Amino acid sequence: MFGLLHTGDSYQSQTEHLVHCTQTYLKLCYSNARDIFELAKENKELISFWAKNRERSQESKSNLEKQKNAEKVEDQIQEFYRELVIHSCTTKLYASFSLESFINSFATFLTNRKILVSVQDEAKETILHYISRLYDKMSTLDKWEEVAAQFGSTRLNKQTILWKKFCELYRFRDSAVHDKPIFIRRTGDVVQIKRGVIRQVKVESKEASAVACYINDAYQACKTHDDMIRKLYTITGIKEEGNNQFYVLPNNYHRRIKSVVKKLEELEQQIEAGY
């Protein structure tokens, strides 16, 4: 059904390979989040002290020692945090790449199964060539809509939360891999040039994201990945392949990730409140 990719001594589905990459970075996110939680949980008092006193220039001798200890813990947490940010972003990118690989191969599979099966051999190559060129010109989101419309019993509902999360994932992917020139005018206005048109960019001041947001974002990207594939299987009436090899999330990960997200949120609230 899917194109094969040579990995070492064997071949495997390209989509399956991307799924494994997504799983790897999600596990790294989970590991980073757990490390941050365990370190912060054991040092809540020091971290709270560090947060309150990092702007102060005058400290007593006893407080200075406490400040040094707090900064050591903070440095460790900051390192885990930087890794978590990178791993979260990479998880989301691989989830988007996997969905793109899936729909490209799925469209070819359905074309062979439902269109070319009744076409004479000499005409198959020509038809497949033109259909492939048509799909190549579409955006990834349009491909998902088109496959559902052409081969499914119903269309994809674009009013659902799932579709909106799917679009958000691809906006993130596009912003990461399709950088658009941004310029700052003398007035201080920020403008962006997109397809030859100058648009003003609204600059908003945002607070630093909480630790729990990054692990949750990675998890939601993976859940969106699995739910979109599951939805398309249902709409097209195609039986799911083998052992769910195109799904990122194993069953136990839902509970484990939700648990660490909740614990981190509660811990962050305690530290912000001054412990």
Q: What is the pLDDT of residues 49-77, one digit of tens each?
A: 445 555 444 454 455 555 555 567 677 77
Residue of 44 and 142 predicted with greater confidence = 142
Q: Highest-confidence range of 140-154, 176-190, 200-214, by mean pLDDT?
A: 140-154
Contact by Cβ (8 Å): 103, 147: yes
pLDDT value at residue 239: 82
Q: Is the pLDDT of residue 133 over 90?
A: no
Residue of 269 and 82 predicted with greater confidence = 82
Q: Is the pLDDT of residue 236 over 80?
A: yes
> Residue range 93-97: average pLDDT?
96
Residue 173 CA to residue 232 CA, distance in Å, equals: 21
Contact by Cβ (8 Å): 98, 90: no
- Which of 73, 132, 101 has the alpha carbon at shortest distance from 14? 101
Percent of the chain with pLDDT over 90: 31
Residue of 188 and 81 predicted with greater confidence = 81
Quickly list DSSP for 98-142. HHHHHHHHHHHHHHHHHTGGGS-HHHHHHHHHHHHHHHHTS-HHH
Contact by Cβ (8 Å): 48, 274: yes
pLDDT value at residue 241: 64
Residue of 268 and 224 predicted with greater confidence = 224
Q: Is the pLDDT of residue 44 over 90?
A: no
- Average pLDDT of the chain is 78
Q: 260: pLDDT confidence band, cut at 50, 70 and 90? A: confident
Where would I find the H helices in 178-250? 211-236
Residue of 248 and 264 predicted with greater confidence = 248
